[in-house]
Amino acid sequence: MGESASGSEAEPRTHFGYQSVAESEKAAKVAEVFHSVAARYDLMNDLMSAGIHRLWKRLTIELSAVRPGQRVLDIAGGTGDLARQFALRVGAEGEVVLADINASMLEMGRSKLLDAGVAGNLRFVQADAEQLPFSDNCFDCVSIAFGLRNVTHKEKALESMLRVLKPGGRLLVLEFSKPRHALLGKLYDAYSFRILPKLGQLVAGDEDSYRYLAESIRMHPPQEALKAMMQTAGFARVSFHNMTGGIVALHRGIKP
């Protein structure tokens, strides 16, 4: 019994927002959040960002340099905003794989894109970013938008993304980051912790999930730290572009 107790105490821990949880518990807790918010996810994105998230995603698409005939993997693709635009860019000869670990989000994305009539060159795969179920060197571009901060082992996920990219392929990480100015940071904190959870309760009937989302942003590595993580994972020519004063950053890296 002594060995069993010791083993339990030694289980690695990680953060779930500001909470400390066992690593084995985080994925299920994150899944609960996104099962809860899936139905109102698009509406809440528009309300939370006043529609600016569309501009962030548009710039991501532009900087991806995706061309007709290429293969793209969109991880944590949610309801398909990026996947739809990638599908239009790669055309009938290309392919876009929308991957998400959460079944509710994946189903929302599938339904939305099928209804829009743009799913002819799209494939939908439920997948864990840390263990991508794809062969080596098979994608020209990999993207992950507002998903990396929810991954338990970010380093492992980045290595998995590098593996599935072709040499010369590009990774794009669009994620909330650290505001570059103190005053903006204070205003952003006030909005995130006072207004956002109440908005989540009013629109989605879920205050706790949106409080977690605000906390998870603060626990995510800031710009330079994420850049270093990508370099450690093996990416070359890593750079980042701040948007909206650093509230969001787009990181890019190339597979050597």
Quote the distance between the C-alpha of residue 32 and its chain's center.
16
208 vs 229: CA distance, rounded Å:
30
Q: Give how many domains the chain has, as a whole number.
A: 1
pLDDT band per the 50, 70, 90 thresholds, residue 7: very low
Q: Is 204 among the domain residues?
A: no
In this structure, how many other beta carbons lie within 10 angstroms of the beta carbon of residue 68?
A: 11
239, two tokens: 């750079």
User: 44: closest CA among 53, 35, 32, 56?
Assistant: 53
Q: Is 59 among the domain residues?
A: yes
Residues 86-127: pLDDT tens digits? 999 999 999 999 999 999 899 999 999 988 888 789 999 999
Q: Is 13 among the domain residues?
A: no
Q: Is 81 among the domain residues?
A: yes
Q: Is 116 among the domain residues?
A: yes
Q: Tell me the residue range of the domain where 109 lies.
A: 50-178+221-254
Residues 58-79: pLDDT tens digits? 999 999 999 999 999 999 998 8
Tell me which residue has tokens 């991957």: 99
pTM of structure = 0.89
- pLDDT of res. 127: 96
61 vs 137: CA distance, rounded Å:
21
Q: Is 66 among the domain residues?
A: yes
128 is in an annotated binding site: yes
In this structure, how many other beta carbons lie within 10 angstroms of the beta carbon of residue 169?
A: 22
- DSSP secondary structure string, 52-68? THHHHHHHHHHHHT--T
129 vs 75: CA distance, rounded Å:
7
- pLDDT of res. 172: 98
- pLDDT of res. 233: 98
- First and final CA of the chain: distance in angstroms? 50
Give the phi and the psi of residue 2 in degrees, each rounded to 5.
Answer: -60, -40
pLDDT band per the 50, 70, 90 thresholds, residue 9: low
User: 65: closest CA among 239, 219, 252?
Assistant: 252
Residues 6 or more apart in contact with residue 45 via CB below 8 angstroms: 53
Residues 6 or more apart in contact with residue 255 via CB below 8 angstroms: 162, 165, 166, 167, 168, 169, 170, 171, 234, 235, 236
Domain of residue 128, CATH code: 3.40.50.150
236 vs 253: CA distance, rounded Å:
6
79 is in an annotated binding site: yes
100 is in an annotated binding site: yes
Quote the distance between the C-alpha of residue 239 and its chain's center.
18
Q: Is 108 among the domain residues?
A: yes
Q: Is 151 among the domain residues?
A: yes
